[in-house]
Amino acid sequence: MRGAQGDLLRLIAGGHAESRAELARLSGLAASSVSLRVEELIGSGLLVEEGSVSSRGGRRPRRLRVSPTAGVLAVADLGGHHARLGLLDLSGTPLVVEERPCEIALGPEATLNWIAASFDDLLATHGPAGVPLRGIAIGLPGPVDPASGRVVSPSRMPGWNNFPVAEHFGAHYDLPVLVENDANLLAVGEARAWPGCETVLVLKAGSGIGCGVIVNGVLHRGRGAAGDISHVRVRSDSSVTCSCGHLDCLEAYASGAALMGVLAEQGIAVGRPSDVVALVDDGIPEATALVRNAGRLIGEVLTVLVNFINPDAIVVGGSLSKAEPLISAIRAAVYERCLPLATRDLEIAVTRSGPDAALLGAGILLLDAVLS
Amino acid sequence: MRGAQGDLLRLIAGGHAESRAELARLSGLAASSVSLRVEELIGSGLLVEEGSVSSRGGRRPRRLRVSPTAGVLAVADLGGHHARLGLLDLSGTPLVVEERPCEIALGPEATLNWIAASFDDLLATHGPAGVPLRGIAIGLPGPVDPASGRVVSPSRMPGWNNFPVAEHFGAHYDLPVLVENDANLLAVGEARAWPGCETVLVLKAGSGIGCGVIVNGVLHRGRGAAGDISHVRVRSDSSVTCSCGHLDCLEAYASGAALMGVLAEQGIAVGRPSDVVALVDDGIPEATALVRNAGRLIGEVLTVLVNFINPDAIVVGGSLSKAEPLISAIRAAVYERCLPLATRDLEIAVTRSGPDAALLGAGILLLDAVLS
DNA sequence: CCATCTTCTTTCGAAATCGAAGATAAAGCG
DNA sequence: CGCTTTATCTTCGATTTCGAAAGAAGATGG
């Protein structure tokens, strides 16, 4: 996509602009130039005019949308034992989303081939006829080197270390392939639901603890592991060795897996982090106490980050986020301990954008790759 | 300064470019457009051609510099008991720098009037004749709200809370006035000395502990307190109440002031943090142990931040940075505990840019304000 | 010392962009 | 209903920017 036109398309696709006038304001281009570009984009079938936006006192803007026939994106978000797969149109709107069981421990070859087959399946059954596939994005529950598209020493993905995921997919399709950490995708998707928040910290509390960081509106990747807080040392009386070999990592106390472990020791067998939430909802005191303690520990780690980066919002997602005591314990710790200037307008809240947030985030990032 | 020309001037002034060709590469403009703009800038006296840069195989580029007669910037960096004041030319090169005693506890009115008088003094004695003052920047040892230019609940600046510093100066001079936290200025100045490092964490270890954060090459301000790590809770056996009212803040254990307090209790009276460094250099075991412990505590806080933000470098400045055990203890803690991906190419080092770093940083930020 | 290569800078016609003014369209109001 | 206000969108000449090619100045290597 040629530069200037790509920028305009991105603004429309990203939901930032809906009319020519808005495009002019946001792109910095003159209104006349915008009109020209938009005319070309409509001519080439990427954009369509569709009705009008309601006015507030003047001529109604004509609503611009990305054409549904311009292309589809195939996106996937992998967990340890399941995968969410979806097709999006170029505006990032889901056409279809499915969750299917999938064992990541089967290794990269088997898993990625299965994903490719599933994409083909989805495209055959739900892909609109004649609309081309434009790009692929995969979210993985481990650190990803953004430059090479490789997984780097993941803790819960046996056999994946250093596997060239992007390259592997590139052999199947001649398309942009984006590989990213799942918490990062979640962060990008979630951030879209928090307009006005420029710096956002998105926590994914599931069987592991992940975190994505949006600084000034853009995902901060660092060296690929940015946002990793699971192996931070926490203050505790006892002493637990984490899977990473260090003592007292946050993950060893506050992750869904850790909570399930403690519950199992107490004779309460649970299979998934969401079962822990169910126990809390049922008022089982052991579970509630555990979750509250996990929230406190997470909150104490967050105090450091809140003072350091001064986010506008902390958003908690992942299956454990549905446990109310977790959120309130996080809030209590952060508001009690952080600097007033840092907490003055800080929002700490549960995810707004539902279970597809990571897929939406994948669409947003992928769009940038496709339109460049 | 009109947009495009301002950008070019900034690139020259900031030391990013020295020739028309470099300007073209960095600005993204066509070489021909650059030539036109540069001609105009030379015409208006802001830029001068001065000799040539050494070539690497072709025609020698003609060196461009900001004209020494284009203007001066007045900058100040205030500490608790002294102030560094300087005049810079528009390229950020110091014309004169002085350190003078100054009690910040005398309150904002007295201090700021004294600064204004000192600037007038410096301009009269060292300001080149006929060269106009173009802007003023002040660094203060406390949180500054970047929007309003006010100090916000500083812990060691009695009487300054909510004082409108920028406004106060605006009444004296009709010029851009920049007010910023001292650690932030230090970070900006220091980052210039670390080319290739996009994300840098600059620690100021003096009588307090400050920290400035450069993310992707730009200073991250957050709400004005970003980078504050002094009130992070540290793991410790004993229990100390910090001046902020919380228990076990980093500052209460590892700041120069805290170290001096402990030494005083042991009967070793010292007046300034640099005296502590002298004791360490003299091999006084109490001092060395204290400093090493301070380094360990700072390092443990940094582990969280390194995992979280994945910086390319951690630079330690401030008077305590000259104590070698401090740096090595920080290194030990970070390298031992952080994720391999985060520490793989991480540099942890002492300041490269000397005592004027904060003033240079003030010049860099101020230039942006002046050239916009 | 001369041909060749490299890099920097300028020239000049082509193309993109701007900006002011006008056309279009709707809301608010007496 | 017509007038005013507000806002969006288009037209068109003026300006800016681009890009290819040529010119300038030094490095390199026989």
CB atoms within 10 A of CB A339: 22
Average pLDDT of chain B is: 92
Q: What are residue A57's phi and psi, to 5 degrees?
A: 115, -5
pLDDT at B1: 54
pLDDT at A44: 85
Residue B7: the pLDDT is 87
Residues of B in contact with A301 (CB under 8 A): 304
Residue A200 to chain B, least CA–CA distance (Å): 11
> A211 and chain B: CB distance < 8 Å anywhere?
yes
B61 Cβ within 7 A of any nucleic strand C atom: yes
Confidence class of residue A360 from pLDDT cuts 50, 70 and 90? very high
The pLDDT value recorded for residue A53 is 77
Report yes or no: A214 and A199 within 8 Å, Cβ to Cβ.
Answer: yes
* The predicted structure's pLDDT at residue B155: 80
Range A302-325 average pLDDT: 97
Whole-number distance in Å between B33 CA and D9 C1': 31
Nearest residue, CB atoms, B308 vs list A235, A305, A342:
A305
Place domain B195-350 in its CATH homologous superfamily.
ATPase, nucleotide binding domain (3.30.420.40)
Rounded-to-integer distance, Cα A35 and Cα A63, Å: 13
Confidence tier at A156 by pLDDT (50, 70, 90):
confident
Nucleotide nearest to B30 (CA to C1'): D18
Report the pLDDT value the prediction gives residue A3, as an integer from 0 to 100: 63
What's the CATH code, domain A194-350?
Answer: 3.30.420.40
The answer to whether the CB atoms of A307 and B228 lie below 8 A apart is yes
Residue nearest to nucleotide D28 (CA to C1'): B57
A61/C28 CA-to-C1' distance in Å: 18
Q: Which residues pair with residue B49 across a beta bridge?
A: B64
How do residues B345-359 score in pLDDT, each as one tens digit? 999 999 999 899 999
Give the residue with greater pLDDT, A70 vs A334: A334
Q: Is the pLDDT of residue A350 over 80?
A: yes
The per-residue pLDDT for A229 is 95
Q: Write down the pLDDT at residue B285.
A: 93
Per-residue pLDDT, A330: 98
CA distance, residue A232 to nearest chain B CA (Å): 6
Q: Which residue is nearest to nucleotide C24 (CA to C1')?
A: A59
Interface check A143 vs B, CB under 8 A: yes
Testing the interface with A: which of B304, B314, B336 to mutate, by most A Cβ within 10 A?
B304
pLDDT at A271 over 80: yes
| Protein-contacted bases of chain D (C-beta within 7 A) | 5-13, 16-21, 23-28
Render pLDDT for A74-129 as a digit per residue (tens, 0 to 9).
999 999 889 999 999 988 899 999 999 999 999 999 999 999 999 999 999 999 98
The answer to whether strand C lies under 7 Å from the CB of residue B171 is: no
HEC secondary structure over chain B: CCHHHHHHHHHHHCCCCCCHHHHHHHHCCCHHHHHHHHHHHHHCCCEEEEEECCCCCCCCCEEEEECCCCCEEEEEEECCCEEEEEEEECCCCEEEEEEEECCHHHCHHHHHHHHHHHHHHHHHHHCCCCCCEEEEEEEECCCEECCCCEECCCCCCCCCCCCEHHHHHHHHCCCCEEEEEHHHHHHHHHHCCCCCCCCEEEEEECCCEEEEEEECCEECCCCCCCCCCCCCECCCCCCCECCCCCECEHHHHHCHHHHHHHHHHCCCCCCCHHHHHHHHHCCCHHHHHHHHHHHHHHHHHHHHHHHHHCCCEEEEECHHHHCHHHHHHHHHHHHHHCCHHHHCCCEEEECCCCCCHHHHHHHHHHHHHHCC
pLDDT-derived band of residue B80, with 50, 70 and 90 as boundaries? confident
pLDDT at residue number B91: 86
Per-residue pLDDT, A148: 85
Please indicate if any CB of chain B lies within 8 Å of the CB of A303. Answer: yes
Q: From the Cβ of A225, is strand C under 7 Å away? A: no
Minimal Cβ distance to B222: which of A199, A220, A225: A199
What local confidence, expressed as pLDDT, does residue A2 receive? 52
The domain limits of chain A are 3-66, 72-187+357-370, 194-350
Q: To the nearest whole percent, how much of chain B has pLDDT over 70? A: 99
Give the whole-angstrom CA distance, residue A315 versus residue A330.
11
The pLDDT of residue B266 is: 93
| pLDDT digits 0-9 by tens, B242-274 | 888 899 999 999 999 999 999 999 999 898 999
Residue A152: band (very low, low, confident or very high) from pLDDT cuts 50, 70, 90: confident
- Asked if the model's pLDDT at residue B2 lies above 60, the reply is no
Q: Does domain A3-66 have CATH number 1.10.1270.20?
A: no
List the single range of A180-184, A241-245, B87-91, B160-164 with lowest mean pLDDT. Answer: A241-245
Q: What is the pLDDT of residue A244?
A: 84
Chain segment B169-200, per-residue pLDDT in tens:
888 889 999 999 999 999 999 999 998 899 99
pLDDT per residue over B97-130, tens digit each? 999 999 999 999 999 999 999 999 999 999 998 8
Residues with CB under 7 A from strand D: A 19-22, 31-32, 35, 38-39, 55-62; B 4, 28-33, 36-37, 55, 57-60
| B72-187+357-370 against B195-350: fold identical | yes
Task: Report CA dihedral (A174, A180, A182, A184) to the nearest 10 degrees.
Answer: -130
Topology classification of domain A72-187+357-370 = Nucleotidyltransferase; domain 5 (3.30.420)
Q: Which residues of B touch A308 (CB under 8 A)?
A: 211, 213, 226-229, 305, 308-309
Position B153 scores a pLDDT of 82
Q: Which residue has the tokens 């611009």?
A: A64
> What are the residues whose beta carbons fall under 8 Å from the beta carbon of A92, sequence distance 6 or more?
A13, A14, A15, A73, A360, A363, A364, A367
pLDDT tens per residue across span B43-79: 888 899 887 777 767 788 889 999 888 899 999 999 9
pLDDT of residue B156: 81
pLDDT of B319 strictly over 90 = yes
